[in-house]
């Protein structure tokens, strides 16, 4: 899998995209290779097609994946988790939802503005104050979606 991530990352860099995630999973009897890409201003269907075509050529040449599979390239969507430092950097100042593995101050879910991060911590500003959470205690971070 690391080789596929490297290939995808190189193609994304060449095409001006950011690789967000790579999944290789089995659903029922079929395998799926799912590639999630990001681009400033949003990912279009044309972007997905271009990435898919470029990736297909290299995967066919290298024959890394031995089982038959379906290739899917898409945008990760608004509700996707923020995982990488690039995700966090891009979303500084935005409203997020943060869930913890165990409660802090009798609370497992927090909402607030993402104000900072480092290798160890995530900082958010809530209505009451600034909260700093250890990254290892966080189960998921997502953008707050308001309609």
Q: Any idea which architecture 2-74 has in CATH? A: 2-Layer Sandwich (3.30)
- DSSP code at position 34: E
* Spatial CA neighbour of 18 closest among 57, 62, 76, 60: 76
Q: What are 26-49's pLDDT values in tens digits? A: 999 999 999 999 998 889 999 999
Whether 23 and 32 have beta carbons less than 8 Å apart is answered as: yes
Q: What are 59-90's pLDDT values in tens digits? A: 999 999 999 999 999 998 878 889 889 889 98
Q: How far apart are CA 75 and CA 42, in angstroms?
A: 8
Ordered by start, the domain boundaries in the chain are 2-74, 85-143
Q: Measured between alpha carbons, how far apart are the two ends of the chain, in Å? A: 38
Q: How far apart are CA 98 and CA 108, in angstroms?
A: 8
Q: Any idea which architecture 85-143 has in CATH? A: Roll (2.30)
Question: Model pTM?
Answer: 0.73
Q: How far apart are CA 3 and CA 100, in angstroms?
A: 32
């Amino acid at each position: 899998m690391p080789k596929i991530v490297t290939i995808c990352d190189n193609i994304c860099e060449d095409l001006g995209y950011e690789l967000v995630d790579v999944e290789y999973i089995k659903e029922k009897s079929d395998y799926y290779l799912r590639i999630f890409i990001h681009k400033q201003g949003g990912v279009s269907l044309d972007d997905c097609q271009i990435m898919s075509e470029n990736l297909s050529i290299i995967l066919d040449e290298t024959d890394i994946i031995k089982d038959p599979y379906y290739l899917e390239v898409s945008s990760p969507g608004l509700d996707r988790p923020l995982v990488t430092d690039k995700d966090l950097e891009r979303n500084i100042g935005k409203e997020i939802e943060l869930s913890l593995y165990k409660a802090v101050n009798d609370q497992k879910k927090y909402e607030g503005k993402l104000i900072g991060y480092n290798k160890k911590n995530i900082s958010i500003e809530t209505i009451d104050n600034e909260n700093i959470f250890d990254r290892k205690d966080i189960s998921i971070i997502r953008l707050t979606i308001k309609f």
